[in-house]
Structure 1
Amino acid sequence: MTRLQALATAFAPHDELAGKLLPHAFSGDDGSHDASHLVRVWKNAARIQAEEGGDSRQLAAAVLLHDCVAVEKNSPLRAGASRLAAEKAWQILDGLRWSTLEISAVAHAILTHSFSANIAPETLEAKILQDADRLDAIGMFGAARCFYIAGRMGSGLYDPLDPLAEDRPLDDKAFAIDHFETKLFRLAEGFQTAAGRRLALERQTRLRSVLAMLLDEI
């Protein structure tokens, strides 16, 4: 069994679909949007879908392809990343002979999942994907990804003179922990499903604990 085949089993019961889509799922070297991110988002999505309902197959395809076009966080094109991914996903699923109705549903979920795009999800599957993806941006993995991206972008961890930005503007391009206030703590307010909101509150508590421990050590 190849590594890709082994990875596909993590998307059961849609492992056959995952085997077809995983070769198209990545287009960069961003470790915060890699295979482990897709697996975590799928687990989040499956957990929410078990409570909320929705089309599991369409949701699996949306999870697998939601980051299939990579745009760096500091790129001026960032807000268009989900649109580019939706367009690529349409081509991929059309090649697999999916119906236009199904492709449209998956593309909508991918288009609206992004915080940067700021487009409201209209279907249950789109709402679940957005919640599942945002769950990975808060909690322990949210903190880990925040610091990973800060290093990737060349940012510092915190301002040694004013860590909490009490006497300066928040600047998450310069300091990693500023991103907690500028974005991460805000994410829990916008969850779309009841299951997602419950999980988000649990993870936000963990994220606040991370910040509190960091400040204690500072």
Structure 2
Amino acid sequence: MTGYTNTGLADRALAFLQAEWQGQADAAHDLGHIARVRAMARRIAQSEGPVDAEALDLACILHDLVNLPKDAPNRAAASQLSADRAGSWLAGQGWPGARVALVTHAIAAHSFSAGIMPQTIEARILQDADRMEALGAIGLARMFAVAGALGRGLFDPADPLAKARALDDKAFALDHLETKLFRLLPLMQTATGRAIAEQRAGFLRQFRDQLLAELA
């Protein structure tokens, strides 16, 4: 794994991100999210072979540069918009085109809704690191934070597991476990990511079981 990001460049990237995010309030996409994705990416990269760690770190910092609301009609375009904006900024910092392309592809491919297959190890690691945020205790907290912000219910009290109705995570937060979060496991791109994701998914299953026990 090549060296980590030059501190000055990482700091400038964070400052650029904060300026772009000015006036936004999103509990699921804040500086804490960025810090956790950076840390998880480094953890995965240690076990996943040669990585351009500087490009990966900058991709982690800038991956949500254009942060559209979850219910925005063009939400699926957010990662490509972020990639384009990040690429322009990095070019302005004097970065060579080939390394800018590493960053922008990783950013464009990280999104679940974009449906872009990651073609590089940096892109695969960023995708896993970002998707890890949807699992475990952090994932649970973010799931309910987003549901609350969008005015969705916690769960259907009459049928929390959707045994006699269609799953609808736009109505009930708990449905999101089945409609998306548990479906992330087979999509993890690295062996390290899959192992961590399975452990975190186990916590989500335990939470669901505990909730059902309390509702019984």
TM-score higher than 0.5 here?
Answer: yes
- Note the alpha carbon deviations across 1:141-178, whole angstroms, 9 max, x for none: 11110000000110010111111111111110110000
What is the Cα deviation at residue 196 of structure 1?
0.8
Partners of 1:79 and 1:116 within 8 A in 2: yes
Unpaired stretches in structure 2, ≥5 consecutive residues: none
What is the Cα deviation at residue 14 of structure 1?
4.6
* Number of the residue aligned with 2:35: 39
What is the Cα deviation at residue 13 of structure 1?
5.9
* Number of the residue aligned with 2:56: 59
Spell out the pairing of 1:59-78 with structure 2 (5 A cutoff).
59-78=56-75
2:26 to 19, 23, 30: 30
Q: How far, CA to CA, are the matches of 1:211 and 1:16 in structure 2?
A: 44
TM-score by length of 2: 0.93
- Note the alpha carbon deviations across 1:184-216, whole angstroms, 9 max, x for none: 010111011111111111111111112112222
Q: Which amino acid aligns with 1:51?
A: S
Unpaired stretches in structure 1, ≥5 consecutive residues: 1-11
- Over the matched positions of the two proteins, sequence identity in percent amounts to 48
- Structure 1 residue 92 and structure 2 residue 89: aligned? yes
- Note the alpha carbon deviations across 1:12-40, whole angstroms, 9 max, x for none: 76533221101222523211010000111
Q: How far, CA to CA, are the matches of 1:20 and 1:162 in structure 2?
A: 49
Partners of 1:110 and 1:126 within 8 A in 2: yes
Q: How far, CA to CA, are the matches of 2:7 and 2:94 in structure 1?
A: 18
2:173 partner SS: coil
Q: How far, CA to CA, are the matches of 1:143 and 1:80 in structure 2?
A: 25
* Number of the residue aligned with 1:5: none
Q: How far, CA to CA, are the matches of 1:179 and 1:25 in structure 2?
A: 28
Q: Which amino acid aligns with 2:79?
A: S
Q: How far, CA to CA, are the matches of 1:146 and 1:214 in structure 2?
A: 15
* Number of the residue aligned with 1:131: 128
2:139 partner SS: helix
TM-score by length of 1: 0.92
- Note the alpha carbon deviations across 1:75-107, whole angstroms, 9 max, x for none: 110110000000000011011110000101100
Q: Which amino acid aligns with 2:190?
A: T
Q: How far, CA to CA, are the matches of 1:127 and 1:50 in structure 2?
A: 13
Partners of 1:58 and 1:105 within 8 A in 2: yes
Moved more, 20-29 or 36-45: 20-29
Deviation above 6 Å: which 4+ runs of structure 1?
Answer: none
1:193 to 190, 193, 199: 190
* Number of the residue aligned with 1:49: 45
Spell out the pairing of 1:13-24 with structure 2 (5 A cutoff).
14-24=6-16
Q: Which amino acid aligns with 1:34?
A: D
2:70 partner SS: coil
Aligned-pair RMSD on alpha carbons? Answer: 1.2
Aligned length: 207
